[in-house]
Amino acid sequence: MIRSRLAPTPSGYLHLGNALNFLLTWLLVRRQGGVLRLRIDDADASRSRPEFVADIFRQLEWLGLTWDEGPSGPDDFAARYSQLQRLELYRSLLARLADSGQLFFCTCSRRQINQATPDGLYPGTCRGRRDLPAAPHAIRIQVPPEWSVSLPLAATPPHPATPMGDFILWRRDDLPAYQLASLADDLADRINLVVRGRDLLASSAAQLFLASRLGGDGQDFWRAAFCHHPLIVAPGGRKLSKSDQDLSLAAMREHGVTPARIYREVAAFLGLDPAPIGSLEELQAAFNASPPALSCAGPAQEDRPDLQSRKA
């Protein structure tokens, strides 16, 4: 049984790129009779705002998208589903990862890291530091510099993710970092299909690296399918961002854009003929009749670091 999720972050108003991701995920899950979960990634409390949570429900309803698990609305989300209520889940995954002996405390500021490396990759300053610092600190995991994983990109051969450095698992403000929270939720929700934009290729690689350090459900995650789709870009080729207010779904609605127009945009983006599409049912029928050349597949198993270290 396919289990996937819509996982927006409530740090801005949803835009056309989010609509593409949601529609594509919904189409893939519905085509296979799977289960779709709505998960709102609000662990970054400094960026999350209630009006953005409300916007997620408003735009999903407008697009006609349904989900099988997760919050029914903003109040239900706040009462039962906020990531801030799952901190124990994240702490327990952190504890499991700590067993690998590769976690360390880091007191570096973003400025110090940028000064030390031109590419912003963590230079390994605090590697091996196991004594709890008095100063504010994050917790990082040591990643072998040569490690990468090949992941499927839509309609192209598997693509090796870029080097990630020793990334953060637990933040200085005592909250889980995105990579840890996302993996913990995916494991707890038994997700086996992850649909993301190409910009999150490095995140998939980071989460697979963490999963490789775990037994049991961590190994199941290596059997999940990943689908990294191309991004819709703003005029001029820029990546769409939640700070592009004009291109938000809310603003498009105000300017008279209909859901049918969004379905046609998405159809065209997926290489389907947009002309006859006027409803979600018609988009679904067209998608099911000629599925686009998306490659949704698992990571290359030979990239699993635990297998590599056994070979070495």
Closest distance of CB 114 from Zn ion, Å: 12
C-beta closer to Zn ion: residue 108 or 227:
108
Q: At which residue do the structure tokens 């590419």 appear? A: 119
Our finding on whether 194 is near Zn ion (CB under 5 A) is no
Chain positions 109 to 128 lying near Zn ion, rule: CB under 5 A, are 125-126
Q: Which helix (H) or strand (E) holds 13?
A: none
Our finding on whether 108 is near Zn ion (CB under 5 A) is yes
Our finding on whether 143 is near Zn ion (CB under 5 A) is no
C-beta closer to Zn ion: residue 122 or 263:
122
Our finding on whether 139 is near Zn ion (CB under 5 A) is no
Closest distance of CB 119 from Zn ion, Å: 16
Q: At which residue do the structure tokens 């933040």 appear? A: 171
C-beta closer to Zn ion: residue 112 or 288:
112
What Cα–Cα distance (Å) separates residue 187 from each residue in 137, 265, 290? 26, 33, 32
C-beta closer to Zn ion: residue 109 or 290:
109
C-beta closer to Zn ion: residue 171 or 229:
171
Stretch that binds Zn ion, among 44-52, 69-77, 88-96, 105-113 (CB under 5 A): 105-113
CB count within 10 Å of CB 74 equals 18
Stretch that binds Zn ion, among 59-67, 106-114, 238-246, 255-263 (CB under 5 A): 106-114
Our finding on whether 106 is near Zn ion (CB under 5 A) is yes
C-beta closer to Zn ion: residue 126 or 231:
126
Contact 283, 277 (CB under 8 A): yes
Sign of CA dihedral 217, 222, 227, 231: positive
**CA separation for the pair 252, 69 (Å, rounded):** 28
Vertex 275 angle, CA 195 and 286, to 5°: 45
Closest distance of CB 106 from Zn ion, Å: 3
Beta pairing class for 138-141 and 168-170: antiparallel
Contact 86, 180 (CB under 8 A): no
Using CB under 5 A as the binding criterion, the count of chain residues that bind Zn ion stands at 4
Sign of CA dihedral 99, 209, 140, 129: positive
CB count within 10 Å of CB 72 equals 12
Q: What pairs with residue 226 in β-bridges?
A: 194, 297
Stretch that binds Zn ion, among 53-61, 103-111, 189-197, 278-286 (CB under 5 A): 103-111
C-beta closer to Zn ion: residue 114 or 290:
114
Stretch that binds Zn ion, among 30-38, 99-107, 170-178, 210-218 (CB under 5 A): 99-107
Report the interface residues with Zn ion, using CB under 5 A. Answer: 106, 108, 125-126
